[in-house]
Amino acid sequence: MMLQAASDPLLKVENLVVEYSVGGKTIHAVSDVSLDIARGETLGLVGESGCGKSTLGRAVLQLRQAVSGKVLFDGHDLTALRGETLRQMRRRAQLIFQDPIASLNPRRRIGDIVAEPLVIAGVRDPEERRRRVNEVLSAVGLDPALVSGRLPHEFSGGQCQRICIARALVLNPEFVICDEPVSALDVSIRAQILNLLEEMKARYGLTLLFIAHDLAVVKAVSDRVAVMYLGRLCEVGPSEQLFARPAHPYTALLIEAIPVPDPDVRPTQSVPVGEPPSPIAPPSGCRFRTRCPRADARCAAEVPELRLVAPGQLAACHHSLI
Amino acid sequence: MSGAALLSVENAVVDLPTPRGNLRAVDHVDLAVGAGKTLGIVGESGCGKTMLSRAILQLLPKKAKLSGRVMFDGQDLPALPAEKLRRLRGRSLAVVFQDPMTSLNPVLTIGTQLTETMQEHLELDLGKARQRAIELLAAVGIPAPEQRLSQYPHQLSGGMRQRVAIAVALSCEPKLLIADEPTTALDVTIQAQILDLLAREQQRRHMAMIIITHDLGVVAGRTDEVAVMYAGRVVERAPTPSLFKQMRMPYTEALLAALPKLDAAPHTPLPAISGRPPDPTRPLKGCSFSPRCRYSAGRCGTEKPHLSAAEAPDHLYACFHPITAGADA
Amino acid sequence: MATLELSLDETATAPPKRGRRLGTLFWVAIGWMLLVFAVAICADLLPLPSPTDMDMLERRAPFSAEHWLGTDGLGRDELSRLIYGARISLIVGLCAPVIGLVFGGALGMLAGYFRGRFESIVVGSMDVLLAFPPLILALAVTAYLGQSIFNLTCILGVLGIPAFMRVARAATLSLARREFVIAAQALGATHARILLRELLPNVLLPLLAFFLLAVAVTIVVEGALSFLGLGVPPPISSWGSMIGEGRESLDVAPRLAFLPAIAMFLTVLSFNLIGDTMRALTDPRQGAL
């Protein structure tokens, strides 16, 4: 599970490139990203907003067209599938979004929303559908009898996220992409949802891609963590190892920037200023070089490749910290 | 808080009429901030922290009713005439909001927005105001400030916009700056920069500051005093070091425990707070945290605890069963 | 340790009752609409004199027991003409927007959902249609196909398509980006299913609100066309043609122009009032705080 080349990856992304144009300008959202996720593993994907992590998640599910590259799900290349076969495959992978309220149709009742995947998948028997909906609603901690007949706006953000999780799980998928599932929630609710996701993962035997910008949240749930910056992967590694000894200067910067709830830890003033450049015209070579304290001429000229810096840990940096 | 406080809020109550009944957004809150000090107000969404800041600024919704006193610099704000209040808000009382995109006017250049306030409140001529605007932009860490003056807010990134919003807030040398979730819309690396900037400018200008946030991590290293709010009330208030050293209120403790820790091993279950905050239109008879509290017993459900000090005179909490020193957390 | 969240305090947060106060104005508007619809539908059953029977001896007769609202310039019963006129105004006013609603709504949803070249073609052709002067089109069609209620309804209906298209497209554009639509795509739902189950219920409401507005506008436009003599062929009465005919005797009997004008004014106002109230009522987020 720790090794990059896991013997039996459920998902394998190879040299994925996603670009799209906004107002005539091309946005390089995902540039040449490769990663594996082993069966039963949780891979955390972190990065700042606009780094392409959500686009990567959607491109994996073919909700965004990739320019080039492959997405192998259980051996099948999803980028080559179309129509009905693609729809069949999609049922094995599900998505949970950041804004739980926006991801529920405001005009449909909770029972119908959670049953919808079953209807699409062709489960005809209404009794069977009701049984499975009730089962999954109870599993996420909601009372089916109280919830089913209501509309989404009658629920709080945390409850809506439970409903979204129920909808994602009702078809027994193998793979779930969680796209910032807790960043819209309050601290006290956040912990509930994170615990629920862990519990569901164990109960349904899920493989997770957990996308978030909060490193502490990602660390709490992930086996391995991938760090993304401006469309490229900077570093991938087992989470404890990566947090203890980051190899890429960007990972180190992210860890340093987290506010620690302890007044004795005075915030360090060493965080370099500057902001991420635009993904319309990313810097040449290493994309992080404009904010990196270690950057030199080589970083501008040559794109660093991901290379092994420690067992299971890869970093794309010419001057890695280890 | 020794001496006369710059801002003191006494027994403030904010009521909002809603279709579902009266909503008590702020419930008998007392606060004080001394000159040059920083107060952190921490709470989850809906706990009334934003309404409290609006009450201080006298910017409550039309339908809201405020009772209690808000004393600022020796003046009772709710009693001030509108014109005086307006002058005060621009000059001595400044705000930075969560979303810089909505707090800056999208059709005016950054230069105009900065110089207008200064011309109005400091009565500077245009040349002087421009000069000061450039200095301010440089002070908040914006590169090439002269060129930025002619740019519009949408041409800047989120972090840069928040810097501009801070520059606008600082432009008239306010005595008190209220920062309402100033970094929630920003990325972690930018958040650290903005918090550093606020702390630096505060020290340099000897200005008082209130940071409103939902993140205990944000207030930990950057405030002198912290007030924790829950369901419209301040439930614990103490100098920052003693609060973090010895939390007395179970809610504060639970809030801190629910944060994922960087030094914990992956897949460690988080001690979540079960349930959710009470409906603010249906106030509970007893302590509003009691249905979610693991120490809840006896009179917690029937009687409201008062915010009071026990051992240390400046550590106030509202709890019948406070966490005592030595008890395992 | 997934915490059970619901069930305990759920009764406390039961949804607020739907029984909002609707206001007297709304009920007055409903009452007026019911009256207009009832008399228009039952016009043939009512003990009314024929709206086309002329009585040259009783031209511009004042209110009387025989002619409650008097007679017009050709001695025809004014009340009877008003009621039969309501029929025409309502038929045209309701049928023409239905054409716009069905075609414009469908085109707008498809354009907003699929985007791309299809959208450009739809928007472009609608712009052409909008740029065409409506009066000239009405003139051309009536000159070519003849004056009839059917032709009039079709012209007004086609002219309404671009506006409905725009409303539907704008609503679809903002909805199609919402996560619940992406969630349905991720579930493997077909385009037809997403359009019908996820988008249509949400687009329908702004469309229906616009429909009521369009009914009001169409009644006025039909009136204007009839006033100009491009609407229903005489001797059929519509409110617009009655105002047109009444114009000739404004100085002698101003009521002949004002009575149909008042009827039209009240009906249009009622449609607008009801439309606004319905929209406020059916918004699912209204109840939540």
Tens-of-pLDDT digits for all 329 residues of chain B?
A: 445 789 999 999 999 888 778 888 999 999 999 988 999 999 988 888 888 998 998 888 888 899 999 999 888 888 888 888 888 887 888 888 887 777 788 888 888 888 888 888 888 888 888 998 998 898 888 888 888 888 888 888 888 888 898 898 888 889 999 999 888 878 888 888 888 888 888 988 889 999 999 888 888 888 999 999 999 999 999 999 989 888 899 999 998 888 888 888 888 888 888 888 888 888 888 899 998 888 888 888 888 898 888 878 889 999 998 888 654 44
**Cβ separation C3–B272 shorter than 8 A:** yes
Q: What's the CA gap between A136 and A121, in Å, rounded?
A: 16
Q: What's the CA gap between C169 and B28, in Å, rounded?
A: 49
- For residue A50, which amino acid is it? G
From the candidate CATH numbers 3.90.940.20, 3.40.50.970, 3.40.50.300, 2.170.190.11, the one assigned to the domain spanning A6-92+198-258+275-283: 3.40.50.300
- For residue C136, which amino acid is it? I
Q: Is C70 helix (H, G, I), strand (E, B) or coil?
A: coil
Tokens at residue B197, please?
């900037």
* Token pair 């957004």: residue: B25
Query: Which is nearest to A179 in space by CA: A86, A282, A59, A68?
Result: A59
The distance of Cα A184 from the centroid of its chain, to the nearest Å, equals 15
Residue A268's pLDDT is what? Answer: 59
| Pick from C15, C179, C202: CB nearest A154 | C15
Neighbour order of strands in the sheet with B65-72: B21-33, B7-18, B65-72, B75-76
Q: Which domains does chain B have, with CATH numbers?
A: 7-92+175-259+270-317 (3.40.50.300), 103-171 (no CATH)
Tokens at residue C85, please?
């006129």
Query: Which is nearest to A59 in space by CA: A228, A273, A172?
Result: A228
Collect all residues with Cβ–Cβ distance below 8 Å to B212 and sequence separation of at least 6.
B40, B41, B49, B50, B53, B178, B179, B180, B181
Q: Are C168 and C108 in contact (CB under 8 A)?
A: yes
Chain B partners of C10 at a C-beta cutoff of 8 Å? none
Residue C289's pLDDT is what? Answer: 30
In DSSP terms, B14 is beta-bridged to B26, B66
Q: Are A12 and A36 in contact (CB under 8 A)?
A: yes
Task: Encode pLDDT of B150-171 as tens digits.
Answer: 888 888 888 888 889 889 888 8
Chain A partners of B262 at a C-beta cutoff of 8 Å? 215-216, 219, 243, 255, 258, 260
Q: Are A30 and A16 in contact (CB under 8 A)?
A: yes
Residues 125-154, chain B, touching A (beta carbon < 8 A): 141
Chains that touch C (3 or more CB pairs under 8 A): A, B
**Cβ separation A220–B260 shorter than 8 A:** yes
Q: Are C224 and C244 in contact (CB under 8 A)?
A: no
Chain C partners of B20 at a C-beta cutoff of 8 Å? 16, 289
Chain A partners of C6 at a C-beta cutoff of 8 Å? 141-143, 146-147, 159
**A270 — pLDDT class (breaks 50, 70, 90):** low
Q: Where are the domains of chain A?
A: 6-92+198-258+275-283, 98-172
Query: Which is nearest to B304 in space by CA: B243, B228, B231?
Result: B231
Residue A88 at interface with chain C, using a CB cutoff of 8 Å: yes
Residue C282's pLDDT is what? Answer: 65
Q: Are C99 and C160 in contact (CB under 8 A)?
A: yes
Interface test with B, best of A98, A186, A248 (most B CBs within 10 A): A186
**Cβ separation A192–C5 shorter than 8 A:** yes
Residue C241's pLDDT is what? Answer: 80
pLDDT in tens, chain C (289 residues): 344 444 334 433 444 444 456 678 888 888 998 998 888 888 777 777 777 777 666 677 677 767 667 777 666 777 888 888 888 888 888 999 999 999 999 999 999 998 888 899 999 999 888 888 877 887 888 788 877 888 888 888 998 899 999 999 999 998 888 888 988 888 888 889 999 988 998 898 888 888 988 888 888 888 888 877 777 777 778 887 888 777 777 777 777 788 888 888 888 888 888 888 877 776 655 433 3
- Residues A245-264 have a mean pLDDT of 86
Residue C116 at interface with chain A, using a CB cutoff of 8 Å: no
| Pick from B20, B274, B278: CB nearest C289 | B20
pLDDT at A170 over 70: yes
Taken as a whole, chain A contains a residue count of 322
**Cβ separation B20–C20 shorter than 8 A:** no
Chain A partners of B188 at a C-beta cutoff of 8 Å? 48, 213-215, 254, 257-258
* Token pair 């012209």: residue: C155
Task: Encode pLDDT of B261-296 as tens digits.
Answer: 888 888 888 888 888 888 888 888 889 999 888 888
Q: How far is CA B236 from CA B242, B278, B309, in A?
A: 11, 18, 10
**Reported pTM:** 0.83
Rounded to 10°, the helix C239-247/C78-99 angle is 130
Query: Which is nearest to B9 in space by CA: B24, B35, B30?
Result: B30
State the complex-level ipTM. 0.83
Q: What's the CA gap between C15 and A110, in Å, rounded?
A: 14
Look at A46-50, A150-154, A232-236, C282-286 and tell me which has the smallest mean pLDDT.
C282-286
B206: left (phi over 0), alpha (psi -120 to 50) or beta: left
Collect all residues with Cβ–Cβ distance below 8 Å to B267 and sequence separation of at least 6.
A198, A220, A221
In DSSP terms, A19 is beta-bridged to A28
Residue A116's pLDDT is what? Answer: 92
Residue B325's pLDDT is what? Answer: 62
Calculate how close chain A gets to C193, using CA atoms only, in Å. 9
Residue A318's pLDDT is what? Answer: 93
Chain B partners of C9 at a C-beta cutoff of 8 Å? 275, 278-279, 291
CATH architecture of C26-37+76-282: Orthogonal Bundle (1.10)
